[in-house]
Amino acid sequence: MSALAGNYTYYITAFLLAIGLYGMIGKKNLLKKLIGMNIFQTAIFLFFIHGAVKPGTTVPVLDSRIGMDAAAYINPLPHVLILTAIVVSVATTGVALALLITIYRRYGSLEETTILERMKQSS
Amino acid sequence: MRERLENSVVEGLSRFLVPFIQIFALYVITHGHYGPGGGFQGGVILAASMMLLRLSLGEEYEHRRFSPTAASFVAAVGILIYAFAGLVPMMFGGRFLDYGYLPIPGLSPAELRYHGILIVESGVGLVVWGTLVTLFDHLLGREG
Amino acid sequence: MNWYTAIVLALFFGLLVYAERDLPDSSDASSPARTHVAPTYIEQSYEDTRTPNIVTSVLADYRGYDTLGETVVILTAGLAVILILPRSDRRR
């Protein structure tokens, strides 16, 4: 398994994805599901950023001592994608929290089973 | 989290730190061309400084200085700046978001693109700032 | 954790590990993610935009349309929170 030594961060990312997925489907509290979604998003960011690294190169800010050689800088495209994705994830977490506050004010609880019971009683 | 903290150490320290945080945020936005930084990062730091003031000095005092309506207005102005930086080149012969046709006199097309990037990054910084402060205020508000 | 959650997670993790053998090695310089358009961006960025930071020039100039879309997404999230949770002291 020589691939294990080269791509070990991929396995760590897959492990974090599994933890996030467990938080989303295995827990019954709505806030814990939201935290699971955030862990999932963080694992995706780490996977993208790891895909941009080349050994022996430096950050993609042009340095006059290195010149404009394309093989001396890491790939800038994944960094561009993840920059906006991080701020978008903060904004969507804000919207999810607003929905959770509305649910709490309406039903008095954040546990999935309790909310379903109260929905059946009130309908 | 809505009332004033009534602790003079926290209030004094946050009043002292906030100008430095805001100047650092402006530095991060404008030096995005030369190092890590840019609009998104600077906007988040600006929003963090306003959240520090709201947490330590209380809502009543801070909302008279910078109200939630003003934060939403700032976000809308930011996206309008970005859209106009895209539409103005269309009136002068270029395509949408083609910064080489901006009507600033005396600059070569490469420098016009430099200034176009600066305008666009400040627009993005304003949007991120306004949206995060709006999120903070509305998540902590009373039932409306 | 009941047994069907454990089976779903094990299948998910197994699928990711199985898909790993198709990924290029992390030190491979001829993988498609590195040879398609990224060298063009690195070499042309200073000539076209006079900006040493390649990430900023790609974000705001070469891919400026995507950044406009993402900024509108952030604004929409703020707008959605204003509509879901109005404050009681908003002056109309």
The model's pLDDT over B85-110, given as tens digits with 9 standing for 90+, comes to 999 999 988 889 888 888 888 888 88
Distance from CA of A4 to the nearest CA of B (A): 32
Give pLDDT, residue B16.
95
Closest partner CB to A3 (pick from C8, C20, C58): C20
Instruction: Evaluate if residue B1 carries a pLDDT over 50.
Output: yes
Please check whether the domain covering A2-122 is classified as CATH 3.90.76.10.
no
Average pLDDT over residues B56-67: 89
Q: b/e for B80-97, b at 16 or more Cβ within 10 A?
A: ebbbebbebbeeeebeeb
Q: What DSSP state is assigned to residue B140?
A: T
Between residues B141 and B131, the one the model is more confident about: B131
For residue B25, count other CB atoms closer than 10 A to its CB. 22
Q: Which two tokens stand for residue B73?
A: 């207005």
Residue tagged 């790939």 (tokens): A75
pLDDT at B35 over 60: yes
pLDDT of residue A3: 52
pLDDT at C29: 67
**Residue entry with tokens 């080349």:** A54
pLDDT of res. C90: 59
Mutate to test the interface with B, among C44, C45, C48, C67 (most CBs of B within 10 A): C67
Q: Is B38 left (phi over 0), alpha (psi -120 to 50) or beta?
A: left
| Dihedral sign for Cα atoms in the order C58, C60, C66, C71 | positive
Question: What pLDDT digit, counting tens, does each position of C49-89 carry?
Answer: 888 999 999 999 999 999 999 999 999 999 999 999 988 77
Size of interface B-C (CB pairs under 8 A): 109
Q: pTM for this one?
A: 0.90
Q: Are B9 and A35 in contact (CB under 8 A)?
A: no
* Cα(A97)–Cα(B139) distance, integer angstroms: 8
For tokens 């379903």, the residue is: A116
Question: Model confidence at C41, in pLDDT bands (50, 70, 90)?
Answer: confident
List chains touching A (3+ CB pairs under 8 A).
B, C
Judge whether A101 is closer than 8 Å to chain C, CB to CB: yes
Regions in chain A scoring below 70 on pLDDT: 1-6
Decide if C38 contacts C54 (C-beta within 8 A).
Answer: no
In chain C, residues 49-88 whose CB comes closer than 8 Å to chain B: 49-53, 55-57, 59-61, 64-65, 67-68, 71-72, 74-75, 77-78, 81-82, 85-88
Domain extents for chain A? 2-122
Nearest beta carbon to residue B111 from set C50, C55, C65: C50
Q: What share of chain C is helix, strand, coil (3-state, %, to 5)?
A: 70, 0, 25
